[in-house]
Structure 1
Amino acid sequence: MEFHVPNTVSFHLSLLILVAWSSVQASHSSSLSSSAAETISRFQHYLQINTSQPTPNYYQASDFLVSQAKSSSLQSQAIEFVRGKPFVLIKWPGTNPHLPSILLYSHTDVVPSEIDKWKYDPFSAHIDDNGNIYARGSQDMKCVGMQYLEAVRRLKASGLQPLRSIYLAFSPDEEIGGQDGAAKFAESEVFKSLNIGVVLDEGMASADENYRIFYAERSARWLVIKAIGQPGHGSRLYDNSAAENMMKSLESIRRFRASQFDMIKAGLMAEGEVISVNMAYSTAGTPSPTGFVMNLQPSEAEVGFDIRVPPTADLESLERRIADEWAPASRNMTFRFLAKAPVHDEFGNPFTTKTDSSNPWWGLLQDAIQRAGGKLHEPGIFPASTDSRYFRRLGLPAFGFSPMANTPILLHDHNEFLNQEVYLKGITMYESIIKAYASYVENEGNRASTGDL
Structure 2
Amino acid sequence: MKFGIRNTLHLCLPSLLILIVLSTEASDPSSIIARFQQYLQINTAQPNPEYKQAAEFIISQAKSFSLESHTIEFVNGKPLILLKWLGTNPALPSILLNSHTDVVPAEHQKWTHHPFGAHMDDNGNIYARGSQDMKCVGMQYLEAIRRLKASGFQPLRSIHLSFVPDEEIGGNAGAGTFSQSEVFNILNVGIVLDEGLPSPSENYRPFYAERSPWWLVIRTTGAPGHGAKLYDNTAMENLLKSIETIRRFRASQFDLVKAGLRADGEVVSVNMVFLKAGTPSPTDFVMNLQPSEAEAGFDIRVPPNADPGSLERRIAEEWAPTSRNMTFSFKQKEPLHDKFGKPFLTATDRSNPWWTLLEDAVRKPGGKLGKPEIFPASTDACYFREQGIAAIGFSPIANTPNLLHDHNEFLNQDEYLKGIEIYESIIKAFASFVDPERDRSSTDEL
Q: Is the 8 A contact 2:200 2:398 kept in 1?
A: yes
Q: Is the 8 A contact 1:199 1:399 kept in 2?
A: yes
Structure 2 counterpart of 1:190 = 183
Matches of 1:63 and 1:346, distance apart in 2: 35
* Residue 431 (str. 1) matches residue 416 (str. 2): no
Corresponding residue SS for 2:58? helix
Structure 2 counterpart of 1:37 = 30
Structure 1 counterpart of 2:353 = 360
Q: Is the 8 A contact 2:339 2:388 kept in 1?
A: no
Structure 1 counterpart of 2:253 = 260
1:267-287, Cα deviation, whole Å (9 max, x unpaired): 100101000001111100011
Counterpart code for 1:270: A
1:101-137, Cα deviation, whole Å (9 max, x unpaired): 1100001011111112211111111112221111111
Structure 1 counterpart of 2:335 = 342
Structure 1 counterpart of 2:101 = 108
Question: Equivalences for 1:372-411 in 2 at 5 Å?
Answer: 372-411=365-404
Structure 2 counterpart of 1:172 = 165
Q: Is the 8 A contact 2:27 2:147 kept in 1?
A: no
Q: Is the 8 A contact 2:93 2:439 kept in 1?
A: no
Matches of 1:72 and 1:292, distance apart in 2: 61
* Residue 279 (str. 1) matches residue 272 (str. 2): yes
Counterpart code for 1:173: D
User: Which of 202, 227, 250 is the aligned partner of 2:220?
Assistant: 227
Structure 1 counterpart of 2:411 = 418
Matches of 2:438 and 2:340, distance apart in 1: 27
Structure 2 counterpart of 1:200 = 193
Aligned residues: percent identity?
A: 70
* Residue 133 (str. 1) matches residue 126 (str. 2): yes
Bigger Cα displacement from structure 2, 75-84 vs 38-47:
75-84
* Residue 370 (str. 1) matches residue 341 (str. 2): no
1:282-337, Cα deviation, whole Å (9 max, x unpaired): 10001112211112111111000010000011111111111111111111111111
Matches of 1:381 and 1:151, distance apart in 2: 26
**Structure 1 runs (4+) greater than 6 angstroms displaced:** 445-449
Shift of 1:443: 2.6
User: Which of 36, 56, 60 is the aligned partner of 1:63?
Assistant: 56
Matches of 1:426 and 1:129, distance apart in 2: 20
Shift of 1:168: 0.9
* Residue 290 (str. 1) matches residue 308 (str. 2): no
Shift of 1:193: 1.5
Shift of 1:345: 3.5
Corresponding residue SS for 2:304? coil
C-alpha change, 1:452 and 1:44, in structure 2 (3 Å) is farther
Question: Equivalences for 1:23-34 in 2 at 5 Å?
Answer: none
Normalised to the residue count of structure 1, the TM-score between the two structures is 0.90
Matches of 1:448 and 1:163, distance apart in 2: 17
Shift of 1:346: 5.7
Matches of 1:444 and 1:348, distance apart in 2: 25
Matches of 2:403 and 2:255, distance apart in 1: 23
User: Which of 198, 218, 237 is the aligned partner of 2:230?
Assistant: 237
Over the residues paired in the alignment, what is the CA RMSD in angstroms?
1.8
* Residue 82 (str. 1) matches residue 78 (str. 2): no
Shift of 1:347: 5.7
User: Which of 133, 149, 157 is the aligned partner of 2:142?
Assistant: 149
Shift of 1:157: 0.5
Structure 2 counterpart of 1:246 = 239
Q: Is the 8 A contact 1:101 1:164 kept in 2?
A: yes
Q: Is the 8 A contact 1:89 1:169 kept in 2?
A: yes
User: Which of 297, 300, 308 is the aligned partner of 1:307?
Assistant: 300
- How many residues matched? 420
Corresponding residue SS for 2:75? coil
Q: Is the 8 A contact 1:358 1:446 kept in 2?
A: no
Q: Is the 8 A contact 2:338 2:385 kept in 1?
A: no
Structure 2 counterpart of 1:210 = 203
